[in-house]
């Protein structure tokens, strides 16, 4: 079974003469449990495709299907239980005035989970941080620790498909390997598709 199908996807920004076509005719399929990579030069539309899947790039045409269900322009709340995204810059994706506990707790609350305290602890353990990081703020964390929090936040609603927008590019080389190993372990443990 395929987890993600992209068919003749076009994404653009602006209108009429100011229109810029960011993606033209992208087509690919990602099988369930697979780790699939989009490769291309900077500005070729890789991030834009991921943003179209999540609804962050609202002007698109073509077909997007997740777990066999066609994706419509206005995604239902249930869509975000299946699909989550980890962004490139872990500092920019975390609210600077929210503690790790608030970031994870709010995500769990929005998705209707109970036993939030227990789940926050479990998420932090899953990404190798532990409880000691629970009440820290983003400025108190290293880049790798911030990215682990971002990954924990993405895992909170128990998605099946995780969209990774160059999750290691903003990190030191030594930390990149740690995050890639963590992602590989999480994919196997949670039966994820990347």
Beta strands in 14-47 (DSSP E): 20-31
Cβ-in-10-Å burial (0-12, 13-18, 19+) of 193 comes to: buried
* Cβ neighbour number for residue 59 with a 10 Å cutoff: 14
DSSP per residue, 127-183: TT--GGGTT--GGGS-HHHHHHHHHHHHHTT--SEEEESSTTTTS-HHHHHHHHHHH
Reported confidence tier of residue 17, pLDDT bands at 50, 70, 90: very high
Query: What's the pLDDT tens digit per position in 27-62?
Result: 999 999 999 999 999 989 999 999 999 999 989 999
Q: Which residues contact 39 (CB under 8 A, 6 or more apart)?
A: 46
Beta strands in the chain (DSSP E): 2-13, 20-31, 60-66, 69-70, 83-86, 161-164
Query: What's the pLDDT tens digit per position in 111-120?
Result: 999 999 999 9
What span, in angstroms and rounded, lies between the C-alpha atoms of 159 and 83? 5
Structural domains of the chain ordered from first start: 1-75 (no CATH), 76-194 (3.40.50.300)
What span, in angstroms and rounded, lies between the C-alpha atoms of 81 and 84? 7
Answer whether residue 174 shows pLDDT above 90: no
Tell me the mean pLDDT in the region 171-183.
90
Answer whether residue 4 shows pLDDT above 80: yes
Which residue, chain included where needed, has tokens 């109970």? 114
**CA gyration radius for the chain?**
17
Cβ-in-10-Å burial (0-12, 13-18, 19+) of 129 comes to: buried
Look up residue 156 and give its two tokens. 């909170």
SS3 state of residue 193: strand
Helix (H) or strand (E) segment spanning residue 105: helix 100-110
* Cβ neighbour number for residue 16 with a 10 Å cutoff: 5
Q: Tell me if the pTM is above 0.75.
A: yes
CB 182 within 8 A of CB 151: yes
Look up residue 117 and give its two tokens. 């305290």
């Amino acid at each position: 079974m395929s987890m993600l199908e992209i068919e003749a996807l076009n994404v653009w920004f602006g209108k009429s003469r100011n229109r810029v076509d960011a993606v033209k005719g992208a087509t690919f399929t990602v099988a369930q449990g697979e780790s699939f990579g989009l490769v291309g030069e900077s500005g070729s539309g890789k991030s834009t495709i991921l943003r179209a899947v999540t609804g962050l790039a609202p002007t698109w045409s073509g077909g997007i299907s997740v777990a066999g269900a066609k994706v419509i322009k206005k995604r239902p709340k249930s869509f975000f239980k299946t699909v989550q995204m980890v962004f490139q810059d872990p500092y920019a994706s975390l609210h600077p005035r929210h503690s790790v506990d608030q970031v994870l707790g709010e995500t769990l609350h929005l998705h209707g989970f109970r036993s939030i305290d227990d789940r926050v602890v479990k998420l932090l353990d899953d990404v190798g941080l532990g409880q000691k990081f629970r009440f820290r703020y983003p400025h108190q964390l290293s880049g790798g620790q911030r990215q682990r929090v971002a990954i924990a936040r993405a895992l909170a609603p128990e998605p099946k498909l995780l969209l990774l927008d160059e999750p290691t590019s903003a990190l030191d080389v030594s930390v990149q390997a740690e995050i890639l190993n963590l992602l590989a372990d999480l994919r196997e443990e949670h039966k994820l598709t990347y």
